[in-house]
Structure 1
Amino acid sequence: MKQILLTAILATVFLGCEKKAGEDKVTGLETEVLAIHDEIMPKMDSIMTLKAMLSTKIKEIDSLDNIGLSSNSLAEQRIKAIDINNKLNESDKSMMDWMHGYKGDSAKKLQSEQAVLYFEAEKDEILQVKQLTLRSLQEAKKFLE
């Protein structure tokens, strides 16, 4: 009888430790995901600022064209500015889409294994948003120098 009771206690302790480890992993992943988001989110202001600057640049090019000062170089600059502006829009949209789709509170209610899979997928997705954002910001800043 003591043997059965001891086995039951050990099994309960083991399962409790295993559950705690899973919860810790979920918490750690969630923390990583939110840290990446928090690193990138302030850059959305820079995106808006650069988009405004690109719009101004496009208007300047258009005004030169309107007074008869057009060239292949200006046309190329305009195309490049529009392309970069589109990339900035894509970065902004990616962040907004990610935020709208993020369901961290719901995921924490899942079994640990499922929650880990969810947060790993979210981490991959927010890292893609980060890469897209940093590339588009860098390209815009370089163009506007």
Structure 2
Amino acid sequence: MSKLIVSIAGLLILSGTFWSCNSGEETVKETENEVFAIHDEVMPKIDDIMKLRKQLKQRITSLDSLKSTGSAAATLRTDEEKEQASRLSRNLVVADSLMMEWMSRYNGDTLAKLSSDEALSYLTGQKDKIIDVKTKVNASIEQARQFLGKK
């Protein structure tokens, strides 16, 4: 009877260890999926960034043309608008750069080499970073669209 109890206890310990490892791997995979869901949401917006940068550049060019024909008051307004367009364009460049930097630094291949806790820690940091990228991408796009009068 005691051998049976020891055997059952051993099986319970082994199955608990297996369940714990399996649960850790599942948590890592779920977290990795969350990270990539954010990436996949943001990535298509890079096209929007490129289009908006082009539109801002065209706006700056047209403001330069207006400046040469306008009054002093109109020139001041044109200079302010041009500066705002340039700032918004720079914000779009920064947002794009942040996305490209995140993608180049993300190292998912090493996840398999890490313990579940280390992998989870790495992914949590990456999730924070990609959320920051998402925030900056969305804000720069929204500001540029508002400036250009688009939704």
TM-score normalised per structure 1? 0.94
1:20 aligns with 2:22: yes
Query: Over aligned residues, Cα RMSD in angstroms?
Result: 1.4
Residues paired across the two proteins, number: 145
Cα shift at 1:105: 2.1
Cα shift at 1:41: 0.3
| Paired AA for residue 62 in structure 2 | E
Cα shift at 1:66: 3.3
1:126 aligns with 2:130: yes
Q: 1:52 aligns with which of 54, 67, 74?
A: 54
Structure ranking higher on relative contact order (CA contacts 8 Å, 6+ apart): 1
Larger Rg: 2
Quote the Cα distance in structure 2 between the aligned partners of 1:111 and 1:67.
67
Cα shift at 1:62: 1.3
Cα shift at 1:17: 0.4
Quote the Cα distance in structure 1 between the aligned partners of 2:70 and 2:52.
27
Identity percentage of aligned residues? 35
* Corresponding residue of 1:7: 9
Query: What is the DSSP-based 3-state SS (H/G/I as helix, E as strand, rest coil) of the residue aligned with 2:113?
Result: coil
Cα shift at 1:8: 2.5
Quote the Cα distance in structure 1 between the aligned partners of 2:10 and 2:105.
42
Cα shift at 1:6: 3.0
| Paired AA for residue 108 in structure 1 | A
| Paired AA for residue 35 in structure 2 | V
Quote the Cα distance in structure 2 between the aligned partners of 1:50 and 1:20.
46
* Corresponding residue of 2:144: 140
| Paired AA for residue 28 in structure 1 | E
Q: Deviations over 1:63-109 (max 9, x none)?
A: 22234555211111011001000100010000000000011121233
* Corresponding residue of 1:88: 92
